[in-house]
Structure 1
Amino acid sequence: MQLSAALGYWAVMSHLVAHLRDDVGLLAGTIALVLGLRVAVQYALFLPLGALVDRIGPRRAGILAGVLRAVGFGLLGVVGDVGALVGTALLLAVGGALLHPAIQSLLAGLPAQSRSRGFAVNVVSGQIAAVAGPPAGLVLLGGGFGFVTGVAAAAWAAAAVLFALLGRDRAGERRDAGGGLARGVADVVADRAFLRFSIVAAPTTLLAAQAVTVVPLSVADPRLATVFFCVSAAVAAGVQPFVAGRAQRPWVLRGGLFCAGASYLFLAALPVAGEWRTASLVTAAALTGLGTGLVAPGVFQAIVRRAPDGRVGVYNGLVRFMAGAVALVGGLAVGEAFDAGAATAAMGGLAALGFLSGAVLKHPRPARDEGSERWEPADPTLRHEKIKP
């Protein structure tokens, strides 16, 4: 599922800006508005739609996400006016906000001994798609951008079918026992330990996403930018087998934040690196890959270990909602800094944010473990008692 969906995503998104600029004739500001709107809406919807995933089950949510994104990617190849593009961006945003909590809820429903391995396979599949998707899209462009989006739509439709074929037994679904969407959101916000964790861990998405903007702006040679993204994706995939059984340990997420922060120090050094420029870029790429490879499973394990049964979707939604808010504000600040000629200061700020977040990070204790903080959700059917010795 992940490989099919992610290949379709990267095949289109890596060439979408050029299509909107050259084929549709949009100005750069309009392109940024459309793409930024998709990201902003998707992250804003993670919290309420995460609660919806808990209500309808991750299998149904995954089917709906695949259908919405299949329609959205299909439309990208045929629409041209701004209004239609905005509507298409909203379809993609809703699909994405359903997909991610659905996948994590499915993984959380696996037996404990299979959960880490399943998550590792999921992340590795996404990283393979991130490397293979752009060149695949480039090949498909020979048939026109509409052909690329058509293939991507078929890939997302295939993902929806795969969700449907899982079956409830194989999906390991745990549905929210009741209480409604508002109750689910209220419960996760009332879990103060997890709310604190979500706020402190919020820079993870900003640190990962800004590399996509910072690197092309920092290196004029597109070949060097390609090297950066390929190395970072390969390292992220390679670290997963090592991390798979250890992701619940606090050092994993903390180390990921430190690595992500350190990568920006090497990117900031590029203008003065001289003959060490390529080495500095590759080092930054490796650190970015390490950061991604450590952060993703670390956050996933923190969610699974803290969330009550049937509430993984809304817990995942809170983390992504906070991360999206920080990514939106931070991305705007970094863009303004680059426009003002303060690129080094911007990257230094990103590095400091990663170090600070890693230093103050405190994992919430597992909800079911002996000695954990006592927290009871408003829905009494989801309460956990401490395990007695």
Structure 2
Amino acid sequence: MTLPTRRPTLADLLISSQFAFNVGFYAVLPHLSAHLSGTLGPAGRLVGLVLGLRTFSQQGMFVIGGALVDGYGPRPLVLTGCLLRIAGFVGLAFAEATWAVIASVLLVGFAAAFFSPAVETEIAREAVRAEHGGGPARTRTLARFSAAGQAGALIGPVIGALLLHGGFTAACLAGAGVFVLVLLGHRRLKPPGRRSATKQARRPFDPRPVLAHRPFLLLAAAYSTYLLAYNQLYLALPSELDRATGSQEALGWLFALSSALVVTCQLPLERLVSKRLTWPGTIRLGLLVLAVSFAATAALLPLGGLWPATVFVVLLILGQMLVVPATRACLTGLVDPDRLGVFTGALSSLSGLLVLLGSIPAGALLGVGGPAPWLALAALPLVGVLLVPNTNRTRGLAVAASSRRSLG
């Protein structure tokens, strides 16, 4: 008697990979800034530049990585990304000269520009394929993927803190070891019988189909308002803690709370809303919750203490859990399935660019103090609500068929 599997093997591999990616990455990232300050010594002013280069090399290249996924399938991109991340972490472990540090950090960023679009595109295709094969709703698979990533983000810093007793070198080498395991897993566990990408798909990257796709651009703009709101975990939240308590000691606990909420609540929440709301409706609800998170914080400021910050984190993460899986599902219903990779990458690149531009005025707003900045920030996701396009769910059928060339 053959026991049924809960999810396709490919979905298991992709979800496990996302967990491992974040464990390896977050074992190193939280400690990178302090290490760079010590490594660069008197040139510590370069730390911000180095960290900015990492973000640019990652987010800015997502669209290129997505285009390569469409042309060659995700497997080569994942393997290449793992090799680059291994090289970057090993380089960071031993780098002392400024040029070596910069080169290693760039490798770390470029790595994600290869494997993240590949894995995100493939989990979307696999989610659609499973749904039309009688399996769980695609948002269910995508919610598992999000929860696995947050579990890795929760566990990674803890592992990194333990490894730091052996020095930053030990943390970097352990992070590299995680990516070695992912690399070997993808080489060994690649599902058989998948055909490679067609030659027709192997064409130079052309941004015109992306820029001419109005529903996609609306989705990307709406998603950008979410991402800019979420980014306030790193801007507005520390500012509020300084105001309320005079320090940022509680920041680590609030970050841990945010990850724990996703790990424990993402799947039950998806089950609750998936039968009641369409994907665009779920995105709009999530954006409304984000707006409430800022408005509620403004209303609670007079209480002082950690109440405003805690309520902000809980509601912000609730909004995130609604927006992210539904956006990924929505994308599968909007775009040409043979171009899903480039659109997945473009979603990250465009929203990352808009967040970069929006963070400048957002940071200036926070200097005003009082409830006004929070109320102004609450208006951003409300704009996003108006931008969310409607989705033709039947387009996802073509993506399901297209997924047969997965991991080619």
TM-score range, shorter chain: 0.7 to 0.9
Q: Distance in 1 between matches of 2:82 and 2:252?
A: 29
What per-residue deviation string (whole Å, max 9, x for no partner) do you get for residues 48-84 of structure 1? 2211111111111111111111111222222233332
Aligned ranges 1:65-214 → 2 under 5 Å: 65-110=81-126, 111-112=130-131, 113-114=135-136, 115-169=138-192, 175=197, 178-182=200-204, 185-214=207-236
What per-residue deviation string (whole Å, max 9, x for no partner) do you get for residues 307-326 of structure 1? 33332211111211111111
Match of 1:299? 327
Q: Is the 8 A contact 2:139 2:270 kept in 1?
A: yes
Q: CA deviation at 1:165?
A: 2.4
Q: Distance in 1 between matches of 2:260 and 2:290?
A: 15
Q: Which region of structure 1 is more displaced relative to structure 2, 316-325 or 139-148? A: 316-325
Q: Is the 8 A contact 1:260 1:288 kept in 2?
A: yes
Q: How many equivalent residue pairs?
A: 367
Q: CA deviation at 1:270?
A: 6.5
Q: CA deviation at 1:23?
A: 4.7
Q: Which amino acid aligns with 2:223?
A: A
Q: Is the 8 A contact 1:101 1:312 kept in 2?
A: no
Q: CA deviation at 1:184?
A: 5.3
Q: Is the 8 A contact 1:39 1:93 kept in 2?
A: yes
Q: CA deviation at 1:278?
A: 2.1
Q: Is the 8 A contact 1:46 1:318 kept in 2?
A: yes
What per-residue deviation string (whole Å, max 9, x for no partner) do you get for residues 138-195 of structure 1? 111000001101100111121222222232538x677365254446533333322222
Q: CA deviation at 1:292?
A: 1.9
Aligned ranges 1:253-272 → 2 under 5 Å: 253-268=283-298, 272=302
Q: Is the 8 A contact 1:20 1:31 kept in 2?
A: yes
Inter-CA distance 84–205: structure 2 relative to 1 (3 Å threshold):
farther
Q: Which region of structure 1 is more displaced relative to structure 2, 49-58 or 113-122? A: 113-122
Structure 2 residue runs without a partner (length 5+): 1-16, 403-408
Match of 2:338? 310
Match of 2:376? 349
The alignment status of 1:325 with 2:360, answered yes or no, reads no
Q: CA deviation at 1:5?
A: 1.4
User: RMSD in angstroms over aligned alpha carbons?
Assistant: 2.7
Q: 2:254 aligns with which of 218, 228, 231?
A: 228
Q: Distance in 1 between matches of 2:221 and 2:280?
A: 16
Inter-CA distance 349–99: structure 2 relative to 1 (3 Å threshold):
farther
Q: Is the 8 A contact 1:69 1:92 kept in 2?
A: yes
What per-residue deviation string (whole Å, max 9, x for no partner) do you get for residues 260-303 of structure 1? 333333455675322xx322222111112112211210111011
Inter-CA distance 184–363: structure 2 relative to 1 (3 Å threshold):
farther
Q: Distance in 2 between matches of 1:98 and 1:261?
A: 33
Inter-CA distance 178–243: structure 2 relative to 1 (3 Å threshold):
farther
Q: Is the 8 A contact 1:184 1:314 kept in 2?
A: no
Q: Is the 8 A contact 1:19 1:145 kept in 2?
A: yes
Q: Which region of structure 1 is more displaced relative to structure 2, 114-123 or 21-30? A: 21-30
Q: CA deviation at 1:346?
A: 4.3
Q: 2:314 aligns with which of 286, 290, 305?
A: 286
Question: Matched residue of 1:175: which SS?
Answer: coil
Match of 2:54? 38
Q: Is the 8 A contact 2:70 2:202 kept in 1?
A: no
Q: CA deviation at 1:343?
A: 7.6
Q: Is the 8 A contact 2:279 2:327 kept in 1?
A: no
Q: Is the 8 A contact 2:69 2:117 kept in 1?
A: yes
Q: Which amino acid aligns with 1:11?
A: A
Q: Is the 8 A contact 1:236 1:291 kept in 2?
A: no
TM-score for the superposition, normalised by structure 2: 0.81
Match of 2:6? none
Q: Which amino acid aligns with 1:66?
A: C
Inter-CA distance 167–225: structure 2 relative to 1 (3 Å threshold):
same
